Structure 1
């Protein structure tokens, strides 16, 4: 059991070190140009809280690098803690997790067709004028 715990800690430290050198952006449809959200507002939105902007949060599938960075830098949780949270919400019937997408391209296509959708991407991805950044990690 100690070996397993040590391996988990080593993996988390590697992810944390990697996450510190990478950034993400939270984007939405250009219809929302001028909107900027704080880290706490985004965390609240992606954890099923109420948003004054009526935005629909979208996520990448587990295992995506951008998801790991988002979970670490925005939510402050590991993937397993996020999954546990959503399992509790599902079991209690209180909330549903954000819709998940396999690829960044699929997420962008969805946002393009659904102006109230909001998602996160690696910061290095070039965006067309159809999208606006509402938050960026540093």
Structure 2
């Protein structure tokens, strides 16, 4: 997306009461992500537009046993993402009760990026 289109996209997302509806309409993989079985308490925690016109949306959820561990591989198997748009993944707080895995996904030439942080199935939040 060019900078002007990205700014318009960000305004639509950030200033609409149906934020998830706009995301689903504008970003091809969001509907697959939000309808994925195995994510409990999925929510958007942050949205921003960087100076270089990259739109970021951060999601968090608690995983079921079917998605955790190996979240990135499970998302690819479920066709939520491809290896091409899985930009980065990792594990945090390894071995702790609040252990999580995260995946950053990119669309539209990576000008739209979605970060998904998924806590282990035993997480009590």
If the length of structure 2 is used for normalisation, what is the TM-score?
A: 0.25
Larger % of helix: which? 1
Structure with bigger gyration radius: 1
Larger % of strand: which? 2
